[in-house]
């Protein structure tokens, strides 16, 4: 590698020449800084995420991923987003988070003490990245290839409890109801809205909850 190549230079080269091809081999297409794979009724998204502790001497990164469902915002009566990102998807995570409580896998581009070994070191980093994409991410995403599959995963991951509901729980229930609407299953959507109203009322005045859900109730009934 030529003299004067910085850590950032190496990271950019690794991304362009190794990571982008690795994602392309998994069916992802680069699109304005993110990666997409379009299926019949869902969209797989991926985005390289830099760690907050990255600096000019050490660049750490992972891959954030998400499964978006086109039409879900409209079904729920929400503002339609044109800038989907993994973090806003109904199901999302980072490479390495194979189970609840597991940390993401972070990759690093760091200084190399022995001149000339940068290429080999960065190639090994890219190989580890590609291996996780192929062995972990793609098989997991293949189970989320349709709207019913996304809904089933949301239901399976739902933490049912008593007392005040966490914001993530309410959001998941709302998504589940919206997916039922998208599938034309209005009775099922109505049942999930009943559950959403009950869980919301554990921490919010019932009349306020009822008012907030009125528009969605009407969409379900129409």
Per-residue pLDDT reduced to its tens digit, 82-93: 677 899 999 999
Res. 209 pLDDT band, cuts 50 70 90: confident
Task: Say if residues 155 and 176 touch (Cβ distance below 8 Å).
Answer: yes
Average pLDDT in the 44-61 region?
Answer: 94
Cα distances (Å, whole numbers) of residue 112 to 5, 6, 60, 118? 11, 11, 15, 6
Decide if pLDDT at 2 tops 80. Answer: no
Residue 69 has pLDDT above 80, yes or no: yes
Token pair, residue 6, equals 């910085």
Query: Does pLDDT of 29 surpass 60?
Result: yes
pLDDT at 62 over 90: yes
> 31 is written with which tokens?
């699109």
- Whether the per-residue pLDDT at 151 is higher than 50: the answer is yes
Q: Please provide the average confidence, as pLDDT, over all residues in the chain.
A: 90
* pLDDT value at 173 more than 90: yes
In the predicted model, what is the mean pLDDT of residues 144-173? 88
The pLDDT of residue 4 is 59
Mean pLDDT of 204-214: 87
**pLDDT at residue 171, as a whole number:** 92
* 159 vs 124, residue with greater confidence: 124
Residue 100 has pLDDT above 90, yes or no: no
Q: Is 9 a residue whose pLDDT tops 50? A: yes
CB-CB contact of 45 with 156 (8 Å): no
Q: Where are the domains of the chain?
A: 7-141, 158-221
One DSSP character per residue, 93-127 reads EETT--STTPPPP-EEE---SSTT-HHHHHHHHHH
pLDDT of residue 44 exceeding 70, the answer is yes
Is residue 71 pLDDT above 60, yes or no? yes
Provide the whole-model pTM.
Answer: 0.89
Mean pLDDT of 105-130: 92
């Amino acid at each position: 590698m030529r003299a004067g190549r910085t850590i950032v230079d190496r990271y950019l080269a690794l991304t362009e020449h190794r990571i982008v091809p690795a994602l392309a081999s998994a069916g992802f297409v680069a699109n304005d800084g993110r990666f997409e794979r379009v299926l019949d009724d869902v969209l797989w998204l991926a985005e390289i995420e830099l760690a907050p502790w990255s600096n000019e001497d050490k660049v750490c990164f992972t891959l954030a991923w998400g499964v978006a469902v086109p039409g879900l915002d409209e079904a729920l009566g929400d503002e339609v987003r044109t800038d989907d990102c993994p973090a806003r998807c109904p199901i999302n995570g980072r490479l390495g988070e194979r189970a609840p409580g597991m940390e993401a896998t972070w990759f690093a581009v760091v200084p190399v003490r022995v001149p000339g070994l940068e290429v080999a070191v960065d190639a090994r980093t890219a190989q580890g990245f590609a291996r996780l994409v192929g062995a972990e991410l793609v098989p997991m995403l293949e189970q989320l290839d349709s709207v019913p599959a996304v809904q089933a995963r949301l239901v399976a991951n739902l933490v049912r409890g008593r007392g005040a509901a966490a914001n993530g729980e309410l959001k998941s229930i709302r998504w589940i109801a919206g997916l039922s609407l998208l599938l034309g299953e209005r009775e099922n959507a109505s049942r999930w809205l009943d559950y959403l109203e009950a869980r919301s009322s554990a921490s919010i005045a019932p009349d306020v909850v009822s008012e907030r859900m009125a528009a969605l109730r009407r969409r379900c009934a129409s």
